[in-house]
């Protein structure tokens, strides 16, 4: 069993008396015979405030927005961000990774549509972009309320009117996660989604880029990722949240149309839109990447917009130079 020990001392001229010492199981249960705590010391596991009157000493820990029961390793209430993370249990503590991680109080740093830093709720590194400043001004102060129901209600309003984004060091992880989910399903169907990007300015005045993924569509719905037709792109990402297209991710099925190379339409769209194309092949663990800027720099002739492209429209050497394979990406 992995144990976590926390000790706190009060220094005086007569010595250093121990005010609190505790050994914990991974989810935060105080171990019998190995915990000493003064009545005046209110904090417990991960230095969060205890509520000993509810379930006994150390059995209820207040993480500000939810109460944690270390005996079962679960929160009492649903995670207010559960809609953003459907792969996680809405009651899970620290995503069940209790050896390496600590539980965050939860919430995020918010930015406006024009990229300016607005404020932070909680102590998480999550990033959200909100497009309605009236909602932000009305609800931000309420998230600080000592009334948990009012704070959670205000937070839910802000989350429903904002978009979750991640930094560049998480881009590859999110591409891989998408590939792990949809590549096994693509034996007979093609799946596709978009990656959108946006520049933000943090509270120190430094600019950085963030990304978010759009909806995933299947073969019959693939036209929906066209910028002229996509509700996600025109209504949400561009007009409401000021994102730009950064890349497209898609899968290639098996069977007669199996191919470990980009189709002419893949290449044409990527070059015209100047957006990177990522591809997962059903019967491969590799990630294939096409960089349009590399193609443009090496090609002798310019590509013009067309409804359908042919392989002969592209220069083979320039395509090969712009295409890269990263092996063993998928599980």
Judge if 145 and 234 occupy the same domain: no
Judge if 259 and 228 occupy the same domain: yes
4-39 burial, b if ≥16 CB within 10 A, otherwise e? beeeeeeeeeeeeeeebebbbbbbbbbeeeebebee
- State the average pLDDT over residues 93-121: 72
Compute the mean pLDDT over every residue in the chain, rounded to the nearest whole number. 76
Q: What percent of the chain shows pLDDT beyond 90?
A: 27
- State the average pLDDT over residues 303-319: 92
Judge if 120 and 176 occupy the same domain: no
List the beta bridge partners of residue 289: 278, 324
d(C-alpha 103, C-alpha 98), whole Å:
8
Judge if 308 and 203 occupy the same domain: yes
Judge if 145 and 219 occupy the same domain: no
pLDDT band at residue 99 using 50, 70 and 90 as cut-offs:
low
Judge if 31 and 52 occupy the same domain: yes
Judge if 176 and 308 occupy the same domain: yes
Judge if 203 and 308 occupy the same domain: yes
Judge if 200 and 282 occupy the same domain: yes
- State the average pLDDT over residues 182-208: 89
Judge if 41 and 117 occupy the same domain: no
237-260 pLDDT tens trace: 444 467 888 999 999 887 544 456
Question: Residue 156's domain spans which residues?
Answer: 108-160
Judge if 174 and 285 occupy the same domain: yes
Q: Is 75 helix (H, G, I), strand (E, B) or coil?
A: strand
Judge if 179 and 322 occupy the same domain: yes
Token readout for 12 is 């005086």
143-171 burial, b if ≥16 CB within 10 A, otherwise e? beeeeeeebbebbebbbebbbbbbeeeeb
Length of the chain: 331
For the chain, the domain total comes to 3
Between 171 and 105, residue with greater pLDDT: 171
Residue 210 counted as domain residue: yes
The pLDDT value given to residue 215: 78
Residue 80 counted as domain residue: no
Question: Residue 32: is its pLDDT beyond 90?
Answer: no
Domain C-terminal end among 125, 160, 195: 160
Q: What percent of the chain shows pLDDT beyond 70?
A: 68
319-331 pLDDT tens trace: 999 999 998 898 8
């Amino acid at each position: 069993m992995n144990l976590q020990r926390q000790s706190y001392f009060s220094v005086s001229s007569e010595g250093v008396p121990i005010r609190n010492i505790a050994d914990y199981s991974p989810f935060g249960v105080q171990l019998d015979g190995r915990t000493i705590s003064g009545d005046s010391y209110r904090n417990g596991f991960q230095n969060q405030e205890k509520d000993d009157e509810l379930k006994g000493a150390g059995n209820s820990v207040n993480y500000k927005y939810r109460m944690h029961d270390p005996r079962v390793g679960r929160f009492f209430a649903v995670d207010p961000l559960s809609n953003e993370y459907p792969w996680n249990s809405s009651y899970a503590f620290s995503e069940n990774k209790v050896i390496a991680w600590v539980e965050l109080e939860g919430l995020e740093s918010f930015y406006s549509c024009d990229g300016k830093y607005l404020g932070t709720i909680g102590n998480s590194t999550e990033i959200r972009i909100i497009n309605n400043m009236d909602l932000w001004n009305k609800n931000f102060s309420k998230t600080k309320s000592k009334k948990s129901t009012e704070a959670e209600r205000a937070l839910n309003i802000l989350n429903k009117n904002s978009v979750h984004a991640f930094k560049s060091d998480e881009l590859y992880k999110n591409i891989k996660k998408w590939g792990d989910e949809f590549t096994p399903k693509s034996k007979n169907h093609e799946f596709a989604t978009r990656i959108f990007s946006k520049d933000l300015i943090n509270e120190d005045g430094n600019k950085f880029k963030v990304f978010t993924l759009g909806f995933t569509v299947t073969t019959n719905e693939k036209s929906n990722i066209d910028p002229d037709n996509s509700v996600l792109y025109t209504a949400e990402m561009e007009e409401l949240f000021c994102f730009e297209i950064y890349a497209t991710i898609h899968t290639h099925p098996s069977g007669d149309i199996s191919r470990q190379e980009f189709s002419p339409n893949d290449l044409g769209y990527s070059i015209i839109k100047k957006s990177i194309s990522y591809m997962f092949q059903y019967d491969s663990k590799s990630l294939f990447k096409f960089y349009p800027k590399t193609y443009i720099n090496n090609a002798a002739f310019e590509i013009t917009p067309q409804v359908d492209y042919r392989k002969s429209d592209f220069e083979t050497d320039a395509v090969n130079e712009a295409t890269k394979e990263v092996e063993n990406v998928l599980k």
